[in-house]
Amino acid sequence: MKKFSVQLDALTGEKYIEVPFKGHLLVEHPVYNKGSAFTEQEKDQLDLYGILPQQVSTMDIQVDRAYENYSKKTSPIEKYIFLLSLLDRNETLFYRLILNNLEEMLPIVYTPTVGEAAKTFSHMFRKPRGLYISANNISRIDRILSNAPFSNINLIVVTDGERILGLGDQGVGGMAIPVGKTSLYVVGAGLHPALCLPILLDVGTNNEEALRDPLYLGLKHTRLTGNEYDVIVEEFVKGVKRCFPHALLQWEDFGKHNALRVLNRYRERTCSFNDDMQGTGTVTLAVIHSAVYGKDEKLKDQQYVIFGFGQAGFGIANMLIKGLMEEGLSESEAKQRIYPIDKDGLILEGMGLNEYQKSFMRKKDVVSGWKLKQEGRVTLFDTVLNARATVIIGVSGVKDVFTEDVLAQMAKNTAAPIILALSNPTKNSECTPEQAFRATNGRCIIATGSPFPPVKINGVEKKITQCNNMYIFPGIGLGAIVSMVPKITDKMFIAAAKAIASLTPSKDFLLPEIKEIRKVSENVALSVAKEARNSGLGIRLPDEKLRELIKNAMWVPRYLPYRFEE
């Protein structure tokens, strides 16, 4: 493996990149390719004459050309394919184009379009990106990892493809998610793309449609479970520790039976976290912080209903507990304010529950005396009514489950109900902003998981906050990498949530605008680095030095001069 590095000329102070290739090999490598922007001097020194047209383009001209072609695509998936092909040709140009058009292109690069890309992955496969580690080849783990483009990998995003967005098991198609997520790390926090690696663990799939599909590219058997599954993950982690000992490992879209178990098994052994639980929980806590402070209230003044208590719901509840305890409540007192609901209603003792659901189940005597629509089952409406909920959070993937009567009851419980319809993609949202505003007479505070256009309320246009994990995970990753922490703690996530909430510009916004994402990530990274330092886990530097390190680590997509490495 080659090591990617930016050098500094000791005589002139000029930054430059050492390239290991010349000619066709150079222009075919997406990290090094400049396309039509290679200078005449570089063409001469790197044997590029005749390979490229004569005219040398600036990056701005290249961006204009790429955007013109992008704009001709008529559907989101066509736009996605165009951007992916650009990423495969010229990564620097790809990231400049995205940063220039953040609000327009993020829904194409990631949610909601990436869901369709995952579903059709085997049918539109063109060029490999990242690494595929199948159960059949786990004994070759070191050889597989040696196929990474560069040896100095800082970040790995890995999935086993079992729980892709709201789509479920997509098997090998789940690779679309780590590919997209690593791109968001680059866009959001400036991690250099050469140092980021997407990985797919192929342990089979339970998706019957995929197993019947002759074009499906993954292992054609049902998912491994139990010890067979655990051996694959263990060998993978040990391989990563050997080959990339300083890499941050992000677990992405693992199924409910494995996500928490895998996180807990490795969070002390590796610098790792699960974005679906910890990232979702943290950005949701940041949104709630902003919302309740906008009402001149506190977290502990609220009653919370969480509809959909899988790993995202658990992650939100767990972070809420930590936030409530920061305000002086005991863990028991904090849990009394949280009402978790799954497909069978309010989670009560005696129900068949997953391990992580048990820690948040309520005792049956909590509902004694409650007025119920149907005896023997405590529904979402029943819980909102009887618990006098002031915050309702949806991570269920069930479209329109926040019905008009549920939303109207929220408005009866409090003057400004907080409605968080966080399921992705858009078609799975628990309600639309229009529905929420209509049912609450325009009084609700709302955020959604997918992007929605502004809504006019009483003649005033209101922007809809997207409760997007992108506000969290890039900065968490950057802060952890820069401060060289051996593990990521809950206190780091709490610090990150507070950092985001502090950047909210006014009561009309629950999060900063997405165009400020690099400023957000810088501050999140600093909050992580400070917490790491204060807890004895990170490098010991004063705040201004930590911020300087973080800023210096944030790559800006521009072309540096090249010199051939002999």
The active-site residue, picked from 32, 110, 185, 339, is 110
> CA 486, CA 543: separation in Å to the nearest integer?
20
- And the tokens for 245? 């000992």
Residues 445, 450, 451, 456, CA torsion sign:
negative
Is 278-465 in the same CATH topology as 112-270? yes
The CATH architecture of the domain made up of 112-270 is 3-Layer(aba) Sandwich (3.40)
H-state helical runs in 304-428: 311-326, 331-335, 355-358, 380-386, 404-413
**Which CATH class for the 278-465 domain?**
alpha beta
> CA 323, CA 551: separation in Å to the nearest integer?
28
CATH pick for 6-57 out of 3.30.70.141, 1.10.150.50, 1.20.1370.30, 3.20.20.80 = 1.20.1370.30
CB distance 192 to 185 below 8 Å: no
Cα maximum dimension of the chain = 84
Taking the CB of residue 274, how many other CB atoms lie within 10 A of it? Answer: 23
* Alpha-carbon distances of 73 from 109, 334, 556, rounded to whole Å: 14, 50, 27
* Alpha-carbon distances of 513 from 290, 421, 468, 500, rounded to whole Å: 14, 19, 11, 11
Picking from 420, 392, 395, 423, the residue whose alpha carbon sits closest to that of residue 406 is: 392
Taking the CB of residue 147, how many other CB atoms lie within 10 A of it? Answer: 10
Residue 110 a catalytic site member = yes
Residues 515, 450, 132, 213, CA torsion sign:
negative
The active-site residue, picked from 34, 79, 181, 256, is 181
Who's near 205: CB < 8 A, 6+ residues apart? Answer: 161, 169, 170, 171, 172, 211, 218, 219, 222, 223
Q: What's the start-to-end Cα distance of the chain, in Å?
A: 16
Q: Where are the domains of the chain?
A: 6-57, 112-270, 278-465, 471-553
Residue 181 a catalytic site member = yes
Tens of pLDDT along the chain (566 residues) come to 789 999 999 999 999 999 999 999 999 999 999 999 999 999 999 999 999 999 999 999 999 999 999 999 999 999 999 999 999 999 999 999 999 999 999 999 998 899 999 999 999 999 999 999 999 999 999 999 999 999 999 999 999 999 998 789 999 999 999 999 999 999 999 999 999 999 999 999 999 999 999 999 999 999 999 999 999 999 999 999 999 999 999 999 999 899 999 999 999 999 999 999 999 999 999 999 999 988 999 999 999 999 999 889 999 999 999 999 999 999 999 999 999 999 889 999 988 888 788 889 999 989 998 999 888 889 999 999 999 999 999 999 899 999 999 999 999 999 999 999 999 878 889 999 999 999 999 999 999 998 899 999 888 898 999 999 999 999 999 999 999 999 999 999 999 999 999 998 777 789 999 999 999 999 999 999 999 999 999 999 999 999 999 999 999 999 999 999 87
CB distance 242 to 228 below 8 Å: no
Burial class (CB in 10 A: 0-12, 13-18, 19+), 259: buried
Burial class (CB in 10 A: 0-12, 13-18, 19+), 283: buried
Burial class (CB in 10 A: 0-12, 13-18, 19+), 541: middle
